[in-house]
Structure 1
């Protein structure tokens, strides 16, 4: 076990770089903390990542050649005793080789393997970021309870915990994961200038899909997985299409539910009105043509698609879940709709459709919400602000333990 450490070395561990907010957050943070990117306080930041699941897609294109990365094929989402043991051993060896002063983990699986290994190796600072959590909404009651017990144990091995929104912190406190003074709220940091720089209705998406300037477009950007509630989006689309025959719908993203969702869209009579575009790397050119951006999740940490859409000036309608209210000011920068646990997708879809239809007939209100939302997110979710916050956290925590 290392007796001495390299005080400016960070080992950052995430189970996989599948498409989604955590992968964007982690790759950008690693890049900007790197010596070449953040000269005032130079860090040697090493990113360790595993293998994404089939049909999840990955965000490896975000990795810059200058970034220091380590790929561990055995590290992934699902529990697998042999692969997990291999991952543990590989991380153990990395810590022995690099002697980091800080191990910073992201997402559940990496959080367990990384923090446990770092504790065994006596790494001085062990930080974990909660981009959301699986403490409710993902599994049944018994499996959720097991995850709660695990997270409580891992929190005891942690020097500091980061929540990406006040709501995530509130949930961690509710489930007694850690004491309040151990959890710090640090909002996501993203490269938003590329979204805000594009003019509204610039035409790229409309030209691709042959949608006229007179038509309106309702869209969603999400992984096509159960927690994202795409059945709510389809129900809302059915109602909106019945009320306004000119509206077109776009679904940007992919995942395990895509085939079933396409079939359901056909059954609802939306085949010629809805476009499934899969994963896209040119979102900054697509958001401007979306008149109303929706989010229909059952749970969220800090929704990147909403932040990006707001940065692009979209009017947004979202379910009132998780950390969404920490991003959207209801009635000021977007509209929130109730999504209670006992509500059916049809009931939530009906509420969503009513909000969307009111915006489609009111361009001035769409513009007001879009302008307000853009100002909000550009101030709060900038990557440079995040880097300064993380640097301050690292320095303050190291001063206490070294």
Structure 2
């Protein structure tokens, strides 16, 4: 953007524009949260022009995301693609064609903010954004754990961004441990509005049926689902009787089914696959088990607690930041890679290190002991009064601290602040 254009924008009071850069090739927490955020803010902040720039490789996003994208399109949200224009693939040679396509998109948002959702190694996109005059913001949501910081593009991407946010204190700590020393704003997730519209009720300890412990996760090693099956096997002969209900799918499903068979608990492990109505799933279970080995900030824990579920979770990374003090039990990670590999939790897809909130240091990934997971589950179900109080506190804490419209506005406030700091034209949003 040249000087003349910038002065014109500063004087004409254009409404703020936000371009959301994201990889929509898969369906995960980042992708769902982005679309939920847009679903809410396009209604509450209609004067803010918001569009999506899909930086994945696929021609079309997953079918699960298409209905929401179509709804957003009807509200004026355009979805651009890195390699496609109006359904036609842009040739990679000559490279000037894709470069021109990218510049045209960023030029159209030069009066506002370009927000990169958990995408490192995007130096070319960030540089183009700067060249065209946009304000670039990187939002750390887990990529910092995995990205190869020995690659020049990784640090160059962070340093090219005008501002950096993280969705947890743990995320900021990881970037610091990686050597990033510029300011980082922490902007935490809220409960997704789709869940928040159906508030949970305080649960009572079931007395006339088998207890239901739930897991909501992709079936991949980092989610620690194998540990939950070992915990279930260890619960034999203990005072608390429960079955395991798993919402989610993934490449480890067969391996987990075989593990349940080998441990003699296959009849007590119920695989529900991808669940579209998570509010109903949380309503049907009595406790959520979340034995992850690493997680920047858990949407699942926030949503389960809002629906009244006491939780048992690993004390790692940003997990404790979204667990109510009296609404759940945290279990430390203790087993090293050799020990948890013996339990069927393999090293595929694990980050090189995690943040230990207990001592404020980074360390190699560690898994919670399945026996201690059973102890924690028994503590949740120890008596009716304790259980009901945990359920009540889980709802109250998430309702106070993780309201979606408050958290969405917090994001917009930061983007507004960054725009003002860069001297961008901002329409008064009335906050």
Give the TM bin, normalised by the shorter chain. Answer: 0.7 to 0.9
1:333 to 327, 337, 349: 327
2:199 to 173, 182, 196: 196
Correspondence for 1:371? 392
Residues 1:302 and 2:307 are matched in the alignment: no
Q: Deviations over 1:128-179 (max 9, x none)?
A: 11112343xx5xxxx74436x5443222111211111112112222222232
Does the CA contact (< 8 Å) of 1:237 and 1:353 recur in 2? yes
TM-score by length of 2: 0.77
Correspondence for 1:223? 218
Residues 1:92 and 2:103 are matched in the alignment: yes
Structure 1 residue ranges without an equivalent (≥5): 76-80, 204-211
Larger CA deviation: 298-307 vs 391-400: 391-400
Shift in Å, 1:321: 0.8
Shift in Å, 1:103: 0.5
Correspondence for 1:38? 45
CA pair 72-359 structure 1, distance change in 2 beyond 3 A: same
Q: How far, CA to CA, are the matches of 2:276 and 2:76 in structure 1?
A: 20
Correspondence for 1:158? 161
Paired positions, count = 374
Correspondence for 1:207? none
Larger CA deviation: 215-224 vs 368-377: 368-377
Structure 2 residue ranges without an equivalent (≥5): 85-90, 344-367, 424-431
Q: How far, CA to CA, are the matches of 1:232 and 1:57 in structure 2?
A: 31
Q: How far, CA to CA, are the matches of 1:104 and 1:153 in structure 2?
A: 17
Q: Deviations over 1:69-123 (max 9, x none)?
A: 3153759xxxxx969x787664333123444521001022585454233123332
Q: Deviations over 1:28-77 (max 9, x none)?
A: 2223332x4325xx2001022355889x88444443242513153759xx
Question: SS of 1:269's equivalent?
Answer: coil
Residues 1:101 and 2:112 are matched in the alignment: yes
Q: How far, CA to CA, are the matches of 2:113 and 2:216 in structure 1?
A: 34
Residues 1:171 and 2:174 are matched in the alignment: yes
Q: How far, CA to CA, are the matches of 2:237 and 2:80 in structure 1?
A: 49
Does the CA contact (< 8 Å) of 1:47 and 1:70 recur in 2? yes
Question: SS of 1:128's equivalent?
Answer: strand
Residues 1:128 and 2:138 are matched in the alignment: yes
Does the CA contact (< 8 Å) of 1:359 and 1:366 recur in 2? yes
Larger CA deviation: 14-23 vs 341-350: 341-350
Q: How far, CA to CA, are the matches of 1:371 and 1:94 in structure 2?
A: 47
Question: SS of 2:334's equivalent?
Answer: coil
Does the CA contact (< 8 Å) of 1:8 and 1:44 recur in 2? yes
Correspondence for 1:183? 184
Q: How far, CA to CA, are the matches of 2:56 and 2:200 in structure 1?
A: 34
Q: Deviations over 1:220-240 (max 9, x none)?
A: 101112221222111112112
Shift in Å, 1:292: 1.5
Does the CA contact (< 8 Å) of 1:284 and 1:312 recur in 2? yes
Q: How far, CA to CA, are the matches of 1:342 and 1:274 in structure 2?
A: 26
CA pair 328-390 structure 1, distance change in 2 beyond 3 A: same
Q: Deviations over 1:245-288 (max 9, x none)?
A: 84211110111211211121121112211111111110111102
CA pair 115-341 structure 1, distance change in 2 beyond 3 A: farther
1:392 to 401, 413, 422: 413
1:312 to 280, 303, 307: 307
